[in-house]
Amino acid sequence: KLENGKWSRAENLGAPINTPENEGAETISADGQTLVYTVCNRKRDFGSCDLYISEMENGDWSTPKNIGAPINSSAWESQPSLSADGKTLYYTSNRNGKDKNIYESNRLANGKWSAPKPISLNTGDNEEGPFIHPDGQTLYFTSNGYPGMGKADLFVSRLENDGTWGTPKNLGFPINTKAQEGALIVSLDGKTGYFASDKSDGYGMVDLYSFEMPQTLRPKVVTYAKIEVYDAATKEKLAANLDLVNLSTTQIHWSGVSKKDNEVLICLPTGTDYSLNANKTGYLFQSENFALKETASKDEPFVLKIYLQKIPPKPVNQPIASQEKPVSKPIVLKNVFFKTGSAELEGSSKVELNTLVKLLSDNESMNIQINGHTDDVGSDDKNLKLSENRAKSVVNFLIKQGIKASRLRSRGFGETQPISSNDSKEGKQLNRRTEFVVTQ
């Protein structure tokens, strides 16, 4: 889409995706690295149409491969839609008879796909063209099995808290008409819908249309984080492990590996808070926090460059006093939280503290000091005491998880070491922090 609002001329995607044969309906992962699409009428395939998969490698698409069984069958499979985390694939098949149904398959830890299951929204007629929005909770699809206005209408259903799909809602007129509407895709911000229809006012048999999505039909607002990981000393890009955790449920929302030749793109549905952990063997981890629980809109994405410090070598034959000095830069534990004015840890802090436990367990010669800091609200003495107690609370948690007390120290600095101005709410929040340094 150009700056003047018009679209550039369409370009053929080319080889190896396109061939002289039949390629069709596709889905691309949120990070742009995985393409699943439809291929038809190839002699060696499972059925009349199968799903194929290709990965982005060094700026080009890899040679496509048939995604294979159990997703493909001797029937017709098409119209894939991949969830933002890349773990769930929705698609259409007529494997159970003449009617088309929507199926769901999950990507397993070994990279293979689970046996597909028909979703609960299917009727005795045709349900097809699924599109799972990047919010992970809103599914749009086409059906002629529910009350509608024409040959086939567009519907929306939302995932309930118990994991079931809610009652489908017809998108209504003027989106749905007496014609056949299908293949809906909704933009990341939820404001624009794009779909295909054989309306009589088009240019040909089936045309593409766009419309402003009514507020009641929009998905949850989604933003994204673009992440690159570097070595803090050499500034070279690193392939590091990334874990994004929903702090409300403490469940992993997304997990993957950063690449040396590309940034990582992670979709972040608003309405909850997230922790991000970047870690790599031989390095100290780094964390980020995305506070989106109270966010109703987010126009600007997060663009992060994360710098990992190598684990300092263990000093040999050094005096005890020397061994107690920091040998690393402070690592802020951005997802360690305390109750207001208290040293009592919030339950959501366990996610990050358990990461620290793992780091210490994997590096048994490492000793650390936990530092507590406050903003400037309150007296100097009160803030010093509060920071000391909060640092001790973290140490006590680590000890309860099996880390030897002899490897741990704590210290409070009160308001004496601000990293931002205390003149703003945001600055105060940055100054209220817990961090650790290696003291080998």
Give residue 32's pLDDT.
Answer: 86
User: Tens of pLDDT along the chain (440 residues)?
Assistant: 999 989 999 999 999 999 999 999 999 998 888 999 999 999 889 999 999 999 988 889 999 999 999 999 999 999 999 999 888 999 999 998 879 999 999 999 888 999 999 999 999 899 999 999 999 999 999 999 999 888 899 999 999 989 899 999 999 999 999 988 988 999 988 999 999 998 888 898 999 999 999 999 999 989 999 999 999 999 999 999 999 999 989 988 888 888 777 788 899 988 899 999 999 999 999 999 999 988 766 678 899 999 999 999 876 666 555 556 889 999 999 999 999 999 999 999 999 999 999 999 999 999 999 999 999 999 999 999 999 999 999 999 999 999 999 999 999 999 999 999 999 999 999 999 999 999 96
Give residue 31's pLDDT.
Answer: 84
Give residue 321's pLDDT.
Answer: 53
Cβ atoms 125, 92 nearer than 8 A: no
Q: SS3 of 30, please? A: coil
Helix 380-400 and helix 350-362, axial crossing angle in degrees, nearest 10: 60
Give residue 200's pLDDT.
Answer: 86
Give residue 317's pLDDT.
Answer: 61
CA 412, 414, 416, 422 torsion-angle sign: positive
Give residue 320's pLDDT.
Answer: 53
Give residue 299's pLDDT.
Answer: 73
* Spatial separation of the C-alpha atoms in residues 39 and 23, rounded to whole Å: 5
Cβ atoms 80, 91 nearer than 8 A: yes
